[in-house]
Amino acid sequence: MKILVTGGTGFIGAHLVNVLSKKGHQVIVISRTKKPHKQNIKFYKIDICSPKLNLIFEYEKPDVVFHVAALLSAKNNVTIMKTNVMGSLNILECSQKYKAKKFIFASSAAVYGHTRTDTVGENHSTNPLSVYGLSKLTTEKLIKIYYNEYNIPYIILRYSNIYGPKQKPFRPGSVVANFIYKIVHNEIPEINGTGKQLRDYIYIDDLIRAHLLALKTKKIGVYNLGSGVGTSLNDIISKININLNKNIKPKYKLSTKRGVEKSILDITKIKKDMNWRPKTNINIGLQKTINYFKCL
């Protein structure tokens, strides 16, 4: 198939593009940053908010759109909303205009906010605590509207915390890469709060495998994508130390924001509908990621 990937040079997008290309698909990358190294990947350097996006869709007419591009943070909230919501609307409009057969969207567990249950299913109430989470939830609603009005089949994947080789440290959402980088270089990692916050961590290979199944399935809907297991920030630090035979203690900083204390995704639905389940537990995933950083 001809598949267009937005954000195809980022951590998730680059992994996805690489696998899709190996599977024999014709891949088109849209990104506002650097060009991919692979010569067989068609690349367009463009912002997803640009009106010129229409020309790319008109020329390429992709069968499937993987919308991965997003801003996690910016100097102001207007930029986040403009990029993540208006940019997504631009892509949706082009997708329906040029008859894309499927739209697969990278959403986030940030749409849930504070949770009432030990694990969070797709039917849990959504009350995001950040503008980023709100932008993802708003885009989800836009996708559903376009399905109802234009019949564009969709899969929405709500990611938990992603980690793995090639993730860049010191960026929003790169907490594992940040911890590993600092401990490998004998620096002190910092934790906002007590470090007891529980998060669901998913290894990049498991995440990409779910995308391939989303490409094949005839199902339509929203799916959680995580490990289904909670691990604290303190445990992540401890596991990295053990792997590297070190004992570097983190520095705890007083958190100025009232964040989510526990975020663990219920992945029953994607297991049932797509026969997907994570294969890489946190210990093996951390070891693979640490090995990558040790080679840098």
* Residue-wise burial string across 46-67, b where 16 or more C-beta atoms lie within 10 A, e elsewhere: eebbeeebeebbeebebbbbbb
- Give me the pLDDT at residue 256, please: 61
pLDDT at 258: 66
pLDDT at 42: 94
DSSP 289: H
40-72 residue pLDDT tens: 799 999 999 999 999 999 999 999 999 999 999
Whether residue 130 is found in the same domain as residue 180: no
Taking 70 as the pLDDT cut, the residues of the chain under it are 36-37, 39, 256-258
**Domain match, 80 and 153 both:** yes
At residue 205, the pLDDT reads 98
Count of structural domains, the chain: 2
Which domain covers residue 130, as residue numbers? 2-161+201-225
Q: Do 122 and 54 sit in the same domain of this protein?
A: yes
Cut 0.75: pTM above it? yes
- Residue 33 CA to residue 53 CA, distance in Å, equals 15
CATH of the domain at 261: 3.90.25.10
Catalytic residue annotation: 132
